Amino acid sequence: MIKGMATAAAAAACLLWGMARATTPAVSFADLAKHMQYGEVKISPDGKYLAATATIKDQPVLALVELATSKGVTIHPRENDTVVDFMWANDHRVLYTVGTKVSGIDRPLSTGEIFAVNADGTSADLLFGYRLGTQATGTHINKATAERASADIVGRLRDDPNHVLIGVNSWDSGADGSYTKVYRMDVRNGSKVPVIGAPLRNADFIVDHHGVVRFAFGESSRAREEVYYRPDNDTSWSLLFSEDDGGIDQPLAFSRDDKQVYMTCEAPGMVGTLCPWDVATRKMQAPLWTSPSVSLSGLVESLDGKDVVGVRSMDGMPATAALVPEADTVKLVATLSKLLPGEDVEIVSSSDDGGKAVALASSDEDPGSFYLWDAASQKATPLLSRAAWIKPGAMAAMRPIEFKARDGLLLHGYLSMPPGREDAKHLPLVVFVHGGPFGIRDDWGYDPYVQMMATHGYAVLQVNYRGSGGYGNRFMHAGYRQWGGTMQDDVTDATQWAIGQNIADRGRICIFGGSYGGYAALEGAMKEPDLYRCAIGYVGVYDLGLMYSSGDIPQASVGESYLHAALGTDRAELAAHSPINQIGQLKANVMLIVGGADTRVAPIQGRNLHDALNAHHIAHEWLFKEDEGHGFYDEAHLADMFTRVTAFLDRNIGGSVAAH
C-alpha cells in the first residue's frame, strides 16, 4: 500500500479537509500562474531510469534519474526552448523535441528538431534539424546534415534498439507542407535511410509490433480526413477510408499478434465505439466498447505495451472501462484508485516487461502526482508532485452538469462553486467559454483559470456547446458555420440554465473566454445585451472575415478549406456575426487581452476592436503584452492578468473573497 494512506488517517484527513474549505483564504495568483514543476514522467524500457520534463529555477529542463542510486542530471534545451515531447529509444538513450514557449491554450510550437542524450547525461547531440552542425558543444555527428524540415518521432523499434522511425516534412514545399516521408534513424549519430513516403501532407502513422509502417492518415488539401493502409513493406498505399464516403474509422493500435487493429467505428445509436478490424479480411468486427453519450478519449495498454486492455472516456467524469478485466493494467488502476479516492488514476508509462510502471493521479482540485509501481513488491512509491504549492483543500470542486438546449439537444458542462459555498444560491457567475472551437472540449480536471475565478468568490460555468469534441462527429459538425448562431445559443442557454437553477444572480453575470471563447464572449454580450454585465475577450476573434487573411490558418490550402467548411464563405453573414460590427448593441463593460506575438489569432483582431470601441467613446479595459502569443505564458504576466481579470469582475459583478 502507499505509505500514509491508512483508512483511519485518510478519514481524519478528509474531515479536516472539509472543515478547512469554508475558511480558506484567497488563493495566491502567483501560485496559480506558476508552470507545473513536472509535466510528464516516463520510465526506461529496462525500468532502471526515469525521464521527466521539469521546471527548475524557472528554467525548463529534461531531468534524468537512475532509480537505484537516485542520482540524476538535467538537460537544458537550447536557447530557452522547452521540451515538447520525449521518448526512450532504448534502455539508456532518450530522444526529445523542443519548442518555443506559449500558454496552455496551444502546445509549444515545435522547432522540428530531434535531440538525443544518454541516461547519464553523456552524448548529448542534435540528431536532426535546421541547426545541425551549429552547436558549440556536444559529440560530433557523422553523416547527418542540417535540413530545412521538421521531424516527429513515429515509433520505437523494440527489436532494433539503435534505430527509431521518424516522419519528416520539408519546409521547401510551400505553405501547404510536404508529403511526409518516414525514415529509419540511427539514435547514435542521426544517420537515416528512407522507409516510405506518405500519400498525404503532414501525415500521422500507425506502426505494427514488427516495426512496419502500416497506416497513414490525416487531412487532404480539401480538409477531408483520409486513412491509407498497406500490409507490408513491399506493398504501396491504398485508400482505406475517406470522409468523402461518409464516416471515417480511425486506426489506433495493433493487437499483440498484429492480426487485428483497434479502431473507432460506427454503431447504431452510439456516439463512441471501439471495434477490432481484421487484418486478413479487412473487415470490421463487432464492437468491444460502446457509449451512447461520449467518444473514447484514449486506450489503456497492457503494462508491456503490446496490447489494448481498456478504454478511457470522459462522460462528465473520467472513466476507465476494462476490455480485459484480468489484465495487469486494469488491476493496477483499480488498486491505486482505491488507495487514492477522488483521484483519476492513469498509467502513463511502464517498462517493457511490465515489472514497473508510472501512474499519474490527479483531480479537479489536484494538478496531480506521479507514483512508481513495482510489481515485485506490489507497492506504489510517491515520486513527484506536479505542483506541490497547490493545496487541493483550498481549490474549487468541478461538478458535471447537463441540460437541454432550446432545440432539445442535450448539452454537457461543468459548474465550479467557490470553496465552502458549494450550496450557495444567487452567486455572481462567470460563463467561461472554451476555445477551438471544433473538436475541443472542457474536461473534468484542474484548471488554473477556473480556480482563479472560483477561489475568489465566483461561480464558474463551462459548457461543451455543439461543435465541441468528445461527443461524436455529428455533434461536432453541428457547430459548423454556426459562429454567432446555434453555438452561441448553446452558451446563452447554459447561462439561462444557471439562472433557472438559482445558481446565478441574474444581474451579476460576466462572460469570458480565450481564442474562439473570446469571440463567444464579445458576441454573447452583443447578441444578448441584457444578459451579461461584462465580457472579457482573451486573444479572441472579433472580425470573422479577417480570419481569411490574418493569422496562420489561411496560409495553407488545407487551412482555407477548413475555414470554408467550418466558418462559411458568406461575407455578409460573417460580417453580421462579427462583434466589431455590432458595437451599437453593446451594453456590457468590456476587457480585451491581446498578445502581440500571437500567430494563431493575429493581434490586429484585438487592436481593431480596441480602436473601434475608442471611436465609439466606449471605455474599456485593455491589456496588451507585446511578447506574448496565443495565451499568456510568462508567469509574471499571467499572475498580473489574473489580478486584473478578478479586479474587473469585482468592479462589475462583485464576489471576491475579500468581500465576504
| pLDDT, tens digit, 9 for 90 and up, residues 238-248 | 999 998 777 68
Residue 637 has pLDDT above 60, yes or no: yes
- CA distances to 145, 299, 472, 479, 526 from 441, rounded to whole Å, are 41, 18, 12, 13, 24
Look at residue 111 and tell me whether its pLDDT is greater than 70.
yes
pLDDT in tens, 214-225: 999 998 877 788
- Is the Cβ–Cβ distance between 606 and 543 less than 8 Å? no
Q: What whole-number distance in Å separates Cα of residue 258 and Cα of residue 287?
A: 18
Strands 93-100, 109-110: pairing is: antiparallel
Distance CA 43, CA 420 (A): 39
Condensed to tens digits (0 to 9), the pLDDT of residues 559-582 reads 677 788 788 888 899 999 999 999
pLDDT score for 101? 60
What is the pLDDT averaged over residues 96-114?
70
Among 424, 430, 432, which residue's Cα sits nearest to residue 459?
Answer: 430
Q: Where are the domains of the chain?
A: 52-202, 392-659
Q: How many CB atoms lie within 10 A of CB 447?
A: 25
What is the enclosing helix (H) or strand (E) of 219?
strand 213-219
Query: Residue range 644-649: average pLDDT?
Result: 97
**Pairing of the two strands 369-374 and 379-385:** antiparallel
Per residue in 507-553, pLDDT tens?
999 999 999 999 999 999 999 999 999 999 999 999 998 888 776 66
Question: DSSP E strands: which ranges in 323-444?
Answer: 344-350, 356-362, 369-374, 379-385, 398-404, 410-416, 427-433
Q: Determine contact, residues 512/645, Cβ cutoff 8 Å.
A: yes
Q: Render pLDDT for 266-313 as a digit per residue (tens, 0 to 9).
A: 999 999 999 999 999 999 999 999 999 999 999 999 999 999 999 999
Q: How far is Cα 353 from Cα 374, in angstroms, rounded to an integer?
A: 11
Note the pLDDT tens digit of each residue in 459-476. Answer: 999 999 999 999 998 999
Q: DSSP state, 80?
A: G
Of the candidates 259, 170, 251, the residue with the CA atom closest to the CA atom of residue 205: 251
**Would the pLDDT of 177 be above 80?**
no
CA distance 347 to 359: 4
Retrieve residue 519's grid coordinates.
469571440
pLDDT for residue 176: 62
- Say which residues have a Cβ less than 8 Å from residue 229's Cβ, sequence separation at least 6: 214, 215, 237, 238, 240, 251, 282
Name the helix (H) or strand (E) containing 181: strand 179-186
Q: What is the mean pLDDT of residues 375-382?
A: 94
- Looking at residue 553, what DSSP letter applies? G
CA 194/CA 262 separation, integer angstroms: 27
Query: Which run of H or of E encompasses 338?
Result: helix 328-339
Predicted confidence (pLDDT) at residue 255 exceeds the cutoff of 70: yes
d(CA 87, CA 97): 9
Question: Which has the higher per-residue pLDDT, 332 or 141?
Answer: 332
Question: How confident is residue 105, by pLDDT bands cut at 50, 70 and 90?
Answer: very low
CA atoms of 24 and 26, how far apart (whole Å) = 7
pLDDT in tens, 311-322: 999 999 999 999
* Residue range 593-607, pLDDT digits in tens: 999 888 888 899 999
The residues near 579 (Cβ < 8 Å, ≥ 6 apart) are 519, 522, 523, 525, 526, 537, 542, 543, 609
Q: How far apart are CA 294 and CA 292, in angstroms?
A: 6
- What percent of the chain shows pLDDT beyond 90? 76
Whole-angstrom distance, CA of residue 417 vs CA of residue 450: 10
Give the CA radius of gyration of the chain: 25
126, 135 Cβ separation under 8 angstroms: yes
pLDDT band (50, 70, 90) for residue 186: very high
Q: Strands of 504-514's sheet, edge to edge?
A: 398-404, 410-416, 459-464, 427-433, 504-514, 534-538, 589-595, 621-625
Q: Summarize the confidence of residues 436-454 as an average pLDDT.
A: 96
Residue-level pLDDT at 143? 56
- Mean pLDDT to the nearest integer, 227-234: 95
Residue range 66-87, pLDDT digits in tens: 999 999 999 988 776 888 899 9
One CATH from 3.40.50.970, 3.40.50.1820, 1.10.260.40, 3.90.1300.10 for 392-659: 3.40.50.1820
Residue 556 binned pLDDT confidence (cut-offs 50, 70, 90): low
d(CA 403, CA 153): 42
Q: Which distant-in-sequence residues (6+ apart) come within 8 Å of 320 by Cβ?
A: 300, 310, 311, 312, 330, 333, 346
Count Cβ atoms within 10 A of the Cβ of residue 492 and give its class: 0-12 exposed, 13-18 middle, 19 or more buried. buried
Cell matching residue 605? 483582431
- The whole-angstrom separation of Cα 140 and Cα 39 is 30
pLDDT recorded at residue 13:
28
Whole-number Å distance between alpha carbons of 243 and 477: 12
Cβ count near 236 (within 10 Å): 9
Asked if residue 535 lies in contact with residue 521, where contact means CB atoms within 8 angstroms, the answer is: yes
Q: What is the mean pLDDT of residues 100-112?
A: 61
What's the grid cell of residue 306? 503490446
| Cβ–Cβ under 8 Å, residues 551 and 539 | no
- H/E element, 641: helix 635-653
Give me the DSSP letters along 557-612.
HHHHHHHHHHT-S-HHHHHHT-GGG-GGG--SEEEEEEETT-SSS-THHHHHHHHH
Mean pLDDT estimate for the chain: 89
Three-state DSSP class for 186?
strand
Q: What is the DSSP-derived secondary structure letter of residue 523? A: H
The pTM score is 0.89
